[in-house]
Amino acid sequence: MYYVNREQIAVRLEAIPALADALHALASEWSGNLLQGLAQERSLHLAIEIVTDVGSYLIDGFLMRDASSYEDIIEITGAEGVFPAEMTATLTELAKLRRPLVQEYYGWPRAELHPFTAKLAELLPAFKTAVEAYLAKELQ
C-alpha cells in the first residue's frame, strides 16, 4: 500500500489557478517595468516549486526511483505517465530556470517578458488536471 501525501499535493495544486491568472495578466499587459519583472520572476519561481514539489511527493508516495535533480523529478514523473509526454520538454526547461532565478537572480533580465510566462498560463492548469487524473487512477 502506498502512502501518498494527497493533502500536500492538493495544497500545491490549488495554487495553480491564481498563478496561471497572474502569468496570463503579466503576459497580456507586459510593459517591462520593475514591478512586473519582479512579479514575473516570482511567478516563474512558484511554478517551478509547485511542479517539483508535486513531483517529489508523487515519487516518494509511489516509490518511484530517486531523483537526482529538479530536471530528474520531471523526467521520472513524466516517464511514469503523471502528465502527457508533450509536457515533459517544457517542464524540464522550466525546472532548469530554478538556478538562474534562485541563485543568479542578480543577472535575471527583469525587463524582458520570458517566453514561459504566457506558455505556463496554459500549461499549469493542464498539469494540475493531469496530476489529479493520475492520482484518481492510481489510488482507486
For the residues of 6-72, what is the DSSP string, one character each?
A: HHHHHHHHHTHHHHHHHHHHHHHT----HHHHHHHHHHHHHHHHHHHHHHHHHHHHTTPPPPSSHHH
Mean pLDDT estimate for the chain: 96
Q: At 56, is the pLDDT very low, low, confident or very high (cuts 50, 70, 90)?
A: very high
pLDDT reported for residue 1 = 59
Mean per-residue pLDDT, 44-62: 97
Q: 91 with 127: CB under 8 angstroms?
A: yes
pLDDT at 2 over 80: no
pLDDT reported for residue 107 = 97
pLDDT at 48 over 80: yes
pLDDT reported for residue 51 = 98
pLDDT reported for residue 65 = 87
Work out the number of other CB atoms within 10 angstroms of the CB of residue 48: 21
pLDDT reported for residue 140 = 86
Question: Could you give the domains of the chain?
Answer: 6-138 (1.20.120.580)
Q: At 4, is the pLDDT very low, low, confident or very high (cuts 50, 70, 90)?
A: very high
Q: At 47, is the pLDDT very low, low, confident or very high (cuts 50, 70, 90)?
A: very high
